[in-house]
Amino acid sequence: MRRIAEIALFLPVAAALHLAGFGLAGGARTGSEAGAQGAGGENLLTLAAAPPQISALVAAWDSPPEVSAAPAAVQPPPAAIAALPPVMPAPASDPPDRTGVAARPSLPTPDPEPDIRTVETAPQPRPEAPKKPAPPPEAPAKRAAGTGGGAQAGEAGASANPGQQRALASSWAGQIQARVARVHRMPAAALRLGLYGDVTVRITVARDGRLQSARVVKSAGLAVLDQAALQSVRRAGRFPPAPEGLTRPAMSFDVPLAFERD
């Protein structure tokens, strides 16, 4: 932009200087034209020096313009960082007025705990369990004498006390019950008719296991079931013999039999 302005300023000045130079040269030629022509009729050109002012303008025009360096960009001063306000300590609060609070009564100092030492004590001997009394000696076999001069003898086995007798009888009853249960069957007629019930049969068994008698003591209310119960007892055949220690020749047992859906 600055270059264009300089050209626009110096262009008219240079044109005026050239026109002035041509005008001076034309006037000198007119005044001395007669004396300048020689005898041979030749025209002589006389050059006159330009005044110092014009020479200075021409020199200024021909010299290149001075280019000034662009000023350095001015950086804006950094914004001053606002200083943080100093941290002031909080004012100490006045201690609460404790005049209105009743003073707590002083607690008595607890007595020191006594030093309790553990003393190992020897274990006390346990009292011995009383020994069971020895069973009474077995009574010798008694021999019975017959009449009429003949001797008829019989031996009785060794007998046990009442408690042992009950235990042996219960064990024998369980064996008989298991034998009957193995052969017990539901009659086909009862299955077809859908008859069900419970029957209790009382049986008498000899010491050797033979069945002596059997009868119904609790009926199911149906003859077909009562007869089936008796058949199950008879089907069992010979029962286990009585255990040793039972002195009775025969014993009776109640055998419950259930007829129910499988």
pLDDT per residue as tens digits for the range 158-203: 456 888 889 999 999 999 999 999 999 888 888 888 888 999 999 9
| Beta sheet of 250-259, edge-to-edge order | 211-218, 197-206, 250-259
Q: What is the mean pLDDT of residues 118-130?
A: 52
Task: Kindly state the tokens that stand for 129.
Answer: 């369990």
Dihedral angle sign, alpha carbons of residues 241, 243, 249, 251? negative
CB atoms within 10 A of CB 131: 6
Task: Tell me what pLDDT residue 35 has.
Answer: 41
CATH 3.30.1330.40 fits 162-259, yes or no: no
0.85 exceeded by pTM: no
Q: Which has more confidence, 55 or 254? A: 254
As a whole-number percent, the residues of the chain with pLDDT over 70 amount to 42
Q: For residues 182 and 237, is the Cβ–Cβ distance under 8 A?
A: no
* CB-count burial class (<10 Å; 0-12, 13-18, 19+) for 246: buried
Three-state SS at 57: helix
